[in-house]
């Protein structure tokens, strides 16, 4: 019998009348756990609990909060493999990638553990000698968080760790596809010494369920901040609700990330980079490549080598075979949307170069190394040729193993085409030409750019986020994320014992008569 879990509210497990099952993404017969479906009242209760806990946690000195973050990192080091196995089982990414994603949490904890001994403000000179000015970073209050299933530990940690370090309290609604992973995260947060009620986890669905209820809590005045990773459509809704409540949300949204291959590129490196960018995590990363933009003189050669590599991609159950490039779809919705994109590609007039939709016993790609492809949703690696800007295939994000090849002529067209999508998250260029790399870096509309590396794999201490439809300009990770979880408090400390008014009582130095340098000598 699978275990039934509760929400984690005020340090207690709380049940709901309705439950749902979280299943092994690679074997849908395997139930990982049974989880409660939060009611609006339970979500509200979690916010009220967090508001109380905030009073204590925000007054806990930052170095002590940093200690707790350090212990959380230690717990993740100890449990690294167990967590990675759980990530692989519940959402289906390979064990190697899952371990990497746990490492992102450890890196994030290591970075912020010592930030507890910095969290710098400034001392600033005053216009008066007996007055001092200073700035402090203050926590915002209670942060509502909704996160996606594809990085069920790393991406939440980019929010939870800095928010906690800065002294905020949290209500987190994780993806229902990664509920067990989120529960494990919650228990490790408890172990690390975060007081009960500071981090509350409510389980359930998004639309019309726990996710919507949590968004509504902004209108009820119970949240001071919202942080979201997911689709651009949902991000817009959160942005609107946050806006009317004068909150500035963190929105990390979709992408249709370009990877440019110029005529002088190291082609083998570019093929490997494009392969991983397109198909790692089965294309279900917001940083996955969407369009590979190839310079005309090498288009045919690149396509030939790329398709040869695609034909050999190993696909299967990542719980059983460690060296697959990708495993199953995380959920049925991603699978259905990906299947539908085949019709879009045909309607667009693109050329299908590789791919035959769902993997079934009588429709197996060469690299299939699994047992039963119908135990879950597995898809063929899919490659489209003759894709042009303006096509839906070119514009729309597809969360699945599919990639477009787009032919361009020269660096100017390559950059124009790379910028011709409504998103601007990640980007990459393969070239040995210093000037082309520089031009790309200078003109690409994206939050992140790699030169001779993939569109994926951002390191945990650089600012993560995008422009255009990929977000609202907020950044996660590194020192930049602190802007999202603190406000600046400016303090005037006057010891003069009298009324002295800035700008009005200030003893400005008077200038003397103007010096005419030519008349001096
Ligand atoms: C995401 O897909 O939301 O840069 C995050 C990367 C990973 C994180 C992706 N480190 O691909």
- CA of residue 151 to ligand 1 center, whole Å: 7
Residue 284 CA: nearest ligand 1 atom is: 2
- CA of residue 13 to ligand 1 center, whole Å: 31
With the most atoms of ligand 1 within 8 angstroms of its CB, the residue from 98, 108, 153, 155 to mutate is: 155
Residue 101 CA: nearest ligand 1 atom is: 10
- CA of residue 73 to ligand 1 center, whole Å: 19
With the most atoms of ligand 1 within 8 angstroms of its CB, the residue from 287, 460, 470 to mutate is: 287
Residue nearest to atom 6 of ligand 1 (CA): 457
- CA of residue 146 to ligand 1 center, whole Å: 16
Burial readout 170-191 (b: 16 or more C-beta within 10 A, e: otherwise) = bbbbbbbbbbbbbbbbbebbbe
Residue 148 CA: nearest ligand 1 atom is: 3
Place of tokens 């359930």: 204
Query: Which portions of the chain are predicted below pLDDT 70?
Result: none
Domains and their CATH numbers in the chain: 7-253+474-487 (3.40.605.10), 257-460 (3.40.309.10)
With the most atoms of ligand 1 within 8 angstroms of its CB, the residue from 400, 461, 464, 466 to mutate is: 464
- CA of residue 506 to ligand 1 center, whole Å: 52
- CA of residue 257 to ligand 1 center, whole Å: 12
What pLDDT, on the 0 to 100 scale, is given for residue 18?
98
The DSSP-derived string for 186-225 is: HHHHHHHTPPTTSEEE----STTSHHHHHHHHHHTT--SE
- Torsion sign (Cα): 449, 452, 453, 455: positive
What pLDDT, on the 0 to 100 scale, is given for residue 399?
96
Contacts (Cβ under 8 Å, ≥6 apart) of 438: none
What pLDDT, on the 0 to 100 scale, is given for residue 457?
84
Determine the Cα–Cα distance for residues 275 and 205; give it in Å rounded to an integer.
33
What pLDDT, on the 0 to 100 scale, is given for residue 147?
98
What pLDDT, on the 0 to 100 scale, is given for residue 351?
98
In whole angstroms, how far apart are CA 521 and each of 513, 516, 518? 18, 10, 6
What pLDDT, on the 0 to 100 scale, is given for residue 166?
98
What pLDDT, on the 0 to 100 scale, is given for residue 458?
83
Place of tokens 């005045």: 221
Q: Helices 95-115 & 62-78, crossing angle to 10 degrees?
A: 160
Contacts (Cβ under 8 Å, ≥6 apart) of 191: 71, 72, 75
| pTM of structure | 0.97
Ligand 1 neighbours by CB, cut-off 6 Å: 104, 150-151, 155, 229, 285-287, 456-458
Residue nearest to atom 3 of ligand 1 (CA): 286
What pLDDT, on the 0 to 100 scale, is given for residue 1?
83
Residue nearest to atom 7 of ligand 1 (CA): 457
Residue 464 CA: nearest ligand 1 atom is: 4
The set of catalytic residues is: 252, 286
Residue 456 CA: nearest ligand 1 atom is: 11
């Amino acid at each position: 019998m699978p275990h039934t879990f509760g929400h984690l509210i005020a340090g207690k497990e709380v049940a709901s009348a309705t439950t749902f099952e979280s299943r092994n993404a690679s074997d849908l017969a395997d139930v990982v756990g049974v989880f409660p479906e939060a009611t609006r009242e339970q979500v509200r209760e979690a916010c009220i609990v967090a508001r109380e806990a905030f009073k204590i946690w925000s007054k806990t000195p930052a170095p002590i909060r940093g200690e707790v973050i350090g212990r959380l990192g230690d717990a993740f080091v100890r449990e690294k493999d167990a967590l990675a196995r759980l990530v692989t089982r519940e959402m289906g990414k390979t064990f190697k990638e899952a371990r990497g994603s746990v490492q992102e949490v450890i890196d994030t904890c290591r970075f912020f553990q010592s930030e507890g001994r910095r969290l710098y403000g400034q001392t600033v000179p005053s216009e008066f000698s007996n007055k001092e000015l200073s700035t402090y970073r203050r926590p915002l209050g209670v942060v509502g968080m909704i996160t996606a299933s594809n990085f069920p530990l790393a991406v939440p940690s980019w929010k939870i760790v800095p928010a906690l370090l800065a002294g905020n309290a949290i209500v987190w609604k994780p993806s229902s596809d990664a509920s067990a992973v989120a529960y494990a995260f919650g228990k490790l947060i408890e172990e690390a010494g975060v007081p009960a009620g500071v981090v509350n986890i409510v389980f359930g669905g998004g639309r019309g369920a726990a996710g919507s209820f949590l968004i509504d809590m902004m209108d009820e005045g119970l949240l001071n901040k919202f942080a979201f990773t997911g689709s651009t459509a949902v991000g817009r809704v959160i942005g609107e609700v946050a806006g009317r409540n004068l909150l500035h949300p963190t929105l990390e949204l979709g992408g249709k990330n370009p990877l440019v291959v110029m005529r002088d590129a190291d082609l083998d490196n570019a093929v490997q980079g494009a392969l991983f960018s397109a198909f790692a995590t089965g294309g279900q990363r917001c940083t996955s490549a969407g369009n590979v933009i190839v310079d005309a003189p090498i288009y045919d050669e690149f396509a030939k080598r790329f398709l040869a590599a695609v034909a050999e991609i190993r696909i299967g159950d990542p719980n059983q075979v460690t060296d697959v490039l990708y495993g199953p779809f995380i959920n049925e919705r991603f699978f259905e949307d990906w299947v539908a994109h085949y019709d879009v590609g045909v309607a667009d007039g693109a050329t299908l170069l590789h791919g035959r939709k769902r993997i079934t016993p009588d429709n197996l790609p060469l690299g299939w190394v699994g047992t039963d492809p119908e135990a879950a949703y597995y898809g063929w690696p899919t490659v489209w040729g003759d894709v042009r800007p303006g096509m839906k295939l070119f514009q729309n994000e597809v969360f699945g193993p599919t990639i477009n090849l787009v032919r361009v002529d020269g660096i100017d067209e390559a950059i124009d085409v790379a910028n011709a999508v409504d998103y601007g998250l990640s980007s990459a260029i393969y070239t040995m030409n210093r000037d082309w790399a520089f031009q790309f870096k200078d003109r690409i509309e994206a939050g992140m750019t790699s030169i001779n590396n993939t569109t994926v794999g951002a390191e945990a201490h650089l600012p993560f986020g995008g422009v255009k439809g990929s977000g609202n300009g907020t950044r996660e990770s590194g020192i930049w994320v602190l802007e999202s979880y603190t406000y600046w408090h400016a303090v005037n400390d006057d010891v003069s014992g009298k009324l002295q008014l800035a700008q009005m009582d200030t003893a400005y130095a008077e200038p003397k008569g103007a010096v005419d340098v030519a008349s001096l000598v």
